[in-house]
């Protein structure tokens, strides 16, 4: 299958590329690197991505920015960071991508454990991740032509523990290669509307 990975240069994206690489033809996309460049916050950029890549069998997104900070200091401008980037950015990939997938193709987005397990400073992440899971549940029942859509919700990655660990006391990180297996299940499996939760 031809698989387009957006966010391919990140910790998670690299692990997903390694997991899928032996089995599929990969096209790696990223904001600053990869076979093709894309800014998921831009309608034009995402449209250009699919125009240049052509039809694919699977679209995998492992990207998106969030706002982290105390709720008491959060205003709607800061809160919009996650809404415009990780949430609407990934939704945009799906909304445009649905028209560029071969029959039976799949979309796999990335949410995260904070949707269910909130932490201090994480309200934006909890909101965005829960939103993506709601989107996947709904989009799954409406996609035609056997198209599927799932989300992977990983806990904190071992490779990112140095950054997020101080905010996530007691959480048990997983190696990115374990999280990557869930993307393989989504791409190569037959389920739709699922949230694959990856925890230790």
x/- track of binding to its own copies for residues 83-122 (CB under 8 A): x---xx--xx--xx-xx--------------xxx-xxxxx
With CB under 8 A, what is the number of residues at the site for its own copies?
Answer: 47
Q: In what order do the strands lie in the sheet with 25-30?
A: 36-37, 25-30, 2-6, 56-61, 101-110, 148-154, 195-198
List residues bridging with 36 in a β-sheet. 29
Q: Is residue 61 involved in binding its own copies (CB under 8 A)? A: no
Q: Is residue 29 involved in binding its own copies (CB under 8 A)? A: no
Q: Is residue 32 involved in binding its own copies (CB under 8 A)? A: no
Contacts of 145 (CB under 8 A, 6+ apart): 101, 103, 104
Helices 88-97 and 123-140: angle between axes, nearest 10 degrees: 20
For residue 198, what is the enclosing H or E element? strand 195-198
Q: Is residue 76 involved in binding its own copies (CB under 8 A)? A: yes
Q: Is residue 55 involved in binding its own copies (CB under 8 A)? A: no
User: Binding residues for its own copies, per CB under 8 A?
Assistant: 43, 70-72, 74-77, 79-80, 83, 87-88, 91-92, 95-96, 98-99, 114-116, 118-123, 125-135, 137-144
């Amino acid at each position: 299958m031809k698989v387009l990975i957006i966010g391919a240069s990140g910790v998670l994206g690299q692990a997903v590329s390694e997991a899928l690489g032996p089995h599929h033809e990969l096209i790696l996309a990223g904001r600053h690197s990869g076979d093709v460049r894309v800014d998921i916050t831009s309608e034009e950029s995402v449209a250009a991505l699919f125009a240049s890549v052509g039809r694919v069998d699977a679209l995998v997104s492992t990207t998106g920015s969030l706002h982290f900070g105390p709720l008491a200091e959060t205003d709607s401008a800061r809160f919009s960071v996650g809404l415009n980037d990780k949430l609407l950015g990934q939704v945009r990939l799906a909304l445009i991508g649905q028209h560029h997938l071969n029959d039976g193709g799949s979309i796999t987005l990335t949410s995260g454990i904070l949707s269910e397990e909130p932490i201090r400073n994480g309200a934006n992440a909890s909101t965005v991740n829960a939103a993506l899971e709601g989107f996947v549940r709904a989009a799954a029942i409406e996609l035609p032509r056997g198209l599927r859509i799932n989300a992977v919700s990983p806990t904190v990655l071992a490779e990112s523990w140095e950054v997020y660990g101080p905010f996530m006391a007691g959480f048990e990180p997983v190696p990115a290669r374990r999280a990557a297996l869930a993307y393989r299940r989504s791409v190569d499996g037959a389920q739709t509307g699922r949230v694959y939760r990856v925890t230790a």
